[in-house]
Amino acid sequence: MKEATVQLRKSYRKDAARSARRARRGSASGASASGASASGSAPARRPRGNGRHTQFATRVFEGPASTPTPTPIAAPSTRASAARRGCVTLFLSCQGGSGATTIASTVAAMLARSGRQVCLLDLDFQFGGSLTALNLSNRYPLSTIMADLASGSKQRADRRLTAEQLLARLPRHADTGVHVVSQVGHADGVSQLEPRLFSKLLRGLRRVFDHVIIDGVRDFNDFALPAMDLSDNIVLVATQDVPSLRGLVMRLELLGRLSFDHAAVHVALNRFSRRGPVPPTAIESVGITPSFTIANDFRAVHGALGDGQTLLDACPRSRVTRDIQAMARHLYGVEVDRHRESGFLRRLVRRKR
């Protein structure tokens, strides 16, 4: 097992190693002494950017320096940064039906409602639930995005996919502004997905969005591992039952063997109850201390999914929504406007319309 994980690390982290070497060579040859001392030290394995830069990149995938750039999506502010880098959060489900998609879509809605540009990326290519959670249809699947990326890299720079084009084509949730990247509904294109292009795609999304929320991950496959390497936060979602907790332990062990930063790994215990099948004392006795606990509110979650709404719109004052909001506040410092009209009032207004 150890040899296998070492091989996984080697095969999926070549890009990071090349970037680190280029950074060291540039700092040694170039700048001032203070700048060289700051950038010449050993670079962190995964930079912990906060993803709040307000300068929008003009292209998803950068072309040659001489290429004329299109108009930026938004005007830069005083805190603008030339190298925009969004924050990537990956939700790793420890068992099917753990509620990771509900949590991921709610966190994405909260971030978007706070004024951030947010992308929800679904890596369950055939049966992912991100589109269903936001009541959207998929008109621009992941396979088409990757095909545009591959063809753009072989053609003239002015034909490459721009940020404006990407934002216009992706399905967008009207109430929150969340954009979704998914393959669901286009099963014929799953075979066209290429892992070698996925890291480039994810880096491009980081240059367009303030936050990229990754859902639909259950194992360490050819797409999940590069996503984990580029993630600032990895949230493992489990429930209070033995199969889910066993899956949690195995995933935590594998993340440790792959040398992921412990500070970036969080455990969310969903459908939490003091009287659950496995009590909290038993969970803590095996060395697991949840970072977040999310209340068990089946009626609220079921009603929101049935109405095609997010928890933030359907039941903003429910315990489960408040627990997810506490998670978002801890991870990103997000505060969502509590003065928005309730889910009942929103449904009433829609019916009258």
What is the number of other CB atoms lying within 10 angstroms of the CB of residue 166?
Answer: 23
What is the tens place of the pLDDT at every residue in 327-341?
999 999 888 764 454
Structural domain includes residue 71 = no
Q: Whole domain around residue 284: which residue ranges?
A: 86-337
Helix, strand, or coil (residue 236)? strand
Q: In whole angstroms, what is the distance from residue 98 CA to residue 222 CA?
A: 22
What is the tens place of the pLDDT at every residue in 88-106?
999 999 999 999 999 999 9
Structural domain includes residue 49 = no
SS3 readout for 87-125: EEEEEEECCCCCCHHHHHHHHHHHHHHCCCCEEEEECCC
pLDDT band at 154 (very low <50, low <70, confident <90, very high): low
The pTM of the whole model exceeds 0.95: no
pLDDT of residue 196: 87
pLDDT band at 72 (very low <50, low <70, confident <90, very high): very low
Percent with pLDDT over 70 in the chain: 69
Structural domain includes residue 77 = no
Helix, strand, or coil (residue 177)? coil
Structural domain includes residue 190 = yes
Q: Which residues contact 185 (CB under 8 A, 6 or more apart)?
A: 131, 137, 138, 141
Taking residues 51-67, report their average pLDDT. Answer: 32
Q: Which amino acid is at 173?
A: H
What is the tens place of the pLDDT at every residue in 306-329?
888 899 899 999 999 999 999 999
Structural domain includes residue 351 = no
Structural domain includes residue 237 = yes
Helix, strand, or coil (residue 179)? strand
**How many domains does the chain divide into?**
1
Structural domain includes residue 156 = yes
Helix, strand, or coil (residue 302)? helix
CATH number of the domain where residue 161 is located? 3.40.50.300
Enter the tokens of residue 304: 């929101």
Closest CA to 58 of 45, 44, 72: 72
- Are 269 and 240 a contacting pair, CB within 8 Å? yes
Structural domain includes residue 11 = no
Indicate the DSSP class of residue 189: G
